[in-house]
Amino acid sequence: MSRLHGVPLFAALALLPFLDGCSESECTRDRDCASRGPDIVCVEERCVQAPGTDAGAPDAGVADAGAEDAGQTDAGPDGGPTDAGGGQPVPGATLRITEINPSPQQDLIELVAVTGGTLKGLSLRELTNSGFSFTFPSGVLVKAGDVLVLHVGGDCTDAPGGPATCGQTAPFSAQAWDFSMPGELSYSGKVFELLAADGTPVDGVPFVKASGVMPAETVAAVQQLQADRVWNPAPCIHDPQSAFAKDLYCRNIAVNWSDLGADSSVMRIGGTTPLAVPGMAAQWSGPLPSRWGTY
């Protein structure tokens, strides 16, 4: 090290730290101070502690614990009136076809709920030649065991509040839910299928008379029920070359609804599990006095 001219030796030694500090900077950017810790920054070429931010108001303030996180927006639609409680949507009811009479004096179809829920979107259709299709209205909730009666050509439908709206004059009932639709059923062969709200087949039943000509669509309709796994999968017999009525129109597996009168019906009351699916003819009775609205 060279000696400073004109400065005594002891004074030169005293000034040396200051001269060294002025000649060397510690940093020019924050990253030059990174090795000294995460909160060290470069200020005027010196590495210094950054101002504190961790304990400030923004982290512990209203924004973190405020109404937006714990408020009504989280408990809104999930707990609304369309739910079945606990934030769960109301399930669709499960129905079964249980009684029918296609005569002009009645034209009635009865169903029973095997599980409760909403009727919204459930539909019943006929697969041969009647053009029949009915979709249950929204807003009606049923319980397991509730009975529903569809009046084809009827003029009254119960309000969602209860099944007594249409009164008690037969064929309406204060105990059953009554629904009406325009049209009529013809008394020949008919094949019905019941669909869930998403279109999934859940029940079905084919009806034929013991003799005579049935609709040309009967065989295909029965096979459709079988493909949808709602009816007996045993092979349908349809042999146009046969001289016997029993060998036509799937009579070997369909329900025989011959000999119905104005006051009688066929009912799904046979066996130990009459409401099981796939259905079968053994679940159904022959003509019995009608008992609409009870099951």
From CA 206, how far away is CA 124, in angstroms rounded?
13
Output the DSSP codes for 184-226.
---SS-EEEEEE-TTS-EEEEEEEE-SSSPPPTTHHHHHHHHH
Within 10 A of 252 (CB to CB), how many other CB atoms are there? 15
Whether the per-residue pLDDT at 22 is higher than 80: the answer is no
Q: Mind listing the domains of the chain with CATH numbers?
A: 13-57 (no CATH), 94-289 (2.60.40.1260)
From CA 286, how far away is CA 64, in angstroms rounded?
71
User: Is 208 in contact with 218 (CB distance < 8 Å)?
Assistant: yes
- Which phi-psi region, left, alpha or beta, contains residue 179 (left: φ > 0; alpha: ψ -120 to 50)? beta
Question: pLDDT per residue over 148-187, tens digit each?
Answer: 999 999 989 999 988 888 988 888 888 899 999 999 888 9
From CA 39, how far away is CA 161, in angstroms rounded?
68
User: What pTM was computed for the model?
Assistant: 0.71
User: Is 206 in contact with 191 (CB distance < 8 Å)?
Assistant: yes
Whether the per-residue pLDDT at 56 is higher than 50: the answer is no
Output the DSSP codes for 246-276.
GGSTTTTTSEE-TT--TTEEEEB--SS-TT-
Whether the per-residue pLDDT at 256 is higher than 90: the answer is yes
In three-state secondary structure terms, 92 is: strand
Whether the per-residue pLDDT at 39 is higher than 50: the answer is yes
pLDDT of residue 36: 75
Instruction: Work out the mean pLDDT of the chain and round it to a whole number.
Output: 83
Whether the per-residue pLDDT at 73 is higher than 50: the answer is no
Compute the average pLDDT of residues 226-252: 97
pLDDT of residue 77: 37
Q: What is the DSSP letter of 240?
A: T
pLDDT of residue 42: 76
